[in-house]
């Protein structure tokens, strides 16, 4: 059964970039990942002992609080629309917990499976980007429904590929293909926030490798190769990628000036009392005339929709994920978090997969160091 779950996880992750239905509706990969979670839950019920980590506890408490907020507003407004947002959080929680158990069973063997599946997902999206660029599209969407989904998925994908090698990526084909496809997605989406996040990931990569000449040389070769790939793609598209980026950069000052209104931050400014316990994410007509769209920020959305307790638990979850990680991991994870300041990425499953992997990879490091020290003393 564990092997079946591993195969379901790999298949679901491989197809996670393929959007066939409108945003907000389940995609093909979601059903496969849900089956993966169901198998893992069934297997967990047979475990002799279930260990509750601080990471899982913070995530679970956040989910409970979100459920309470939505239940309260459902009773107040007599609307069940709030529960669709609970479903997103519950789904990602189940996937995260299932992945943690799978990693606990198979350990490092799962890393290669995740790496291959994610690289395939990024390659699927990048192939669609190439077709769209060849057809003269502006900001491309790849296999997603909008450019922002493409950019955020690609950015989280890069961080996961880096995490799997502790930001010391080896010259393996799957890693290089995944990184190249992710870069194509970010640049083709022409997302300024994603480019800012990518800069932080590149800085983390440099920090992790600066002490080793061999790693630094490898880093230079990979960067040169990826830049050459982007140049070739831009030339093949007739300069479309460069044109899109230039246009977006020209718009940057205007977007900054209008950020409060465009990102719906003014909803918080006009209804600050909802930030205490949360307003939920449905029935936005309560906030007219500031009700046209959802709040485009993971952090401000958590604050307004689920109040100070919701935002606090979300921040605790983030802190738990990186608490024992090296500085360069903090910097690397700051890339997607920077993007999340002006975009709502809380429904993106890959974001939660990234946090889950970060917790799994680094929270036991001191134990490993202790074991290494003990082995050293025994040898003496």
Percent of the chain surpassing pLDDT 90: 59
Tell me the Cα Rg of the chain: 21
Question: Total structural domains in the chain?
Answer: 1
Residue 148 has pLDDT above 70, yes or no: yes
75, part of any domain: no
Q: How confident is the model at residue 124 (pLDDT cuts 50, 70, 90)?
A: very high
Q: How confident is the model at residue 374 (pLDDT cuts 50, 70, 90)?
A: very low
Please state, rounded to an integer, the average pLDDT across all residues of the chain: 86
Range of the domain at 355: 107-363
49, part of any domain: no
pTM: 0.90
As a residue count, the chain comes to: 380
Dump pLDDT digits (tens) for 234-245.
666 666 667 666
User: With left for phi above 0 and alpha for psi between -120 and 50, is residue 232 left, alpha or beta?
Assistant: alpha
52, part of any domain: no
Compare 63 and 222 and report the one with higher pLDDT. 63
Q: Determine the average pLDDT of the residues in 310-338.
A: 95
10, part of any domain: no
Residue 201 has pLDDT above 50, yes or no: yes
Dump pLDDT digits (tens) for 259-289.
777 778 889 999 999 999 999 998 888 888 8
291, part of any domain: yes
Residue 349 has pLDDT above 90, yes or no: yes
Compare 364 and 275 and report the one with higher pLDDT. 275
Residue 176 has pLDDT above 50, yes or no: yes
CB-CB contact of 52 with 188 (8 Å): no
CB-CB contact of 126 with 306 (8 Å): no
Q: How confident is the model at residue 227 (pLDDT cuts 50, 70, 90)?
A: confident
64, part of any domain: no
76, part of any domain: no
140, part of any domain: yes
Q: What is the pLDDT of residue 289?
A: 84
């Amino acid at each position: 059964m564990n092997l079946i779950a591993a195969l379901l996880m790999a298949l679901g992750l491989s197809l996670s970039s393929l959007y066939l239905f409108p945003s907000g509706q389940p995609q093909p990969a979601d059903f496969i990942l849900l089956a993966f979670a169901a198998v893992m839950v069934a297997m967990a019920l047979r475990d002799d002992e279930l260990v509750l980590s601080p990471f899982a506890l913070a995530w679970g408490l956040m989910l409970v609080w979100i459920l309470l907020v939505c239940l309260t507003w459902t009773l107040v407004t007599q609307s069940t629309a709030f529960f669709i947002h609970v479903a997103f959080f519950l789904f990602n929680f189940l996937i995260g917990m299932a992945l943690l158990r799978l990693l606990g069973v198979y350990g490092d063997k799962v890393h290669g499976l995740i790496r291959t599946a994610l690289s395939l997902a990024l390659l699927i999206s990048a192939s669609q980007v190439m077709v769209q660029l060849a057809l003269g599209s502006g900001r491309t969407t790849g296999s997603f429904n909008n450019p922002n989904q493409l950019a955020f998925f690609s950015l989280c994908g890069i961080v996961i590929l880096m995490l799997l090698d502790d930001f010391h990526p080896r010259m393996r084909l799957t890693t290089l293909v995944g990184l190249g496809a992710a870069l194509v997605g970010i640049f083709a989406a022409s997302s300024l926030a994603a480019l800012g996040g990518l800069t932080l990931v590149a800085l983390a990569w440099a920090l992790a490798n600066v002490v080793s000449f061999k790693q630094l040389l490898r880093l230079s070769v990979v960067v040169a190769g990826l830049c050459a790939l982007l140049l070739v793609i831009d030339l093949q598209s007739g300069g479309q990628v460069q044109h899109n980026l230039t246009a977006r950069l020209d718009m940057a000052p205007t977007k900054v000036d209008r950020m409060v209104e465009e990102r719906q931050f003014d909803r918080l400014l006009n209804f600050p009392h909802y930030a205490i316990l949360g307003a939920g994410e449905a029935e936005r007509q309560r906030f007219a005339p500031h009700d046209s769209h959802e709040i485009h920020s993971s952090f401000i959305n958590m604050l307004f929709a689920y109040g100070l307790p919701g935002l606090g638990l979300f921040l605790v979850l983030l802190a738990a994920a990186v608490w024992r990680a090296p500085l360069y991991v903090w910097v690397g994870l700051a890339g997607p978090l920077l993007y999340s300041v002006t975009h709502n990425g809380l429904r993106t499953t890959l974001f939660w997969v990234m946090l889950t992997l970060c917790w799994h990879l680094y929270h036991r490091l001191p134990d490993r160091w202790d074991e290494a020290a003990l082995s050293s003393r025994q040898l003496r």
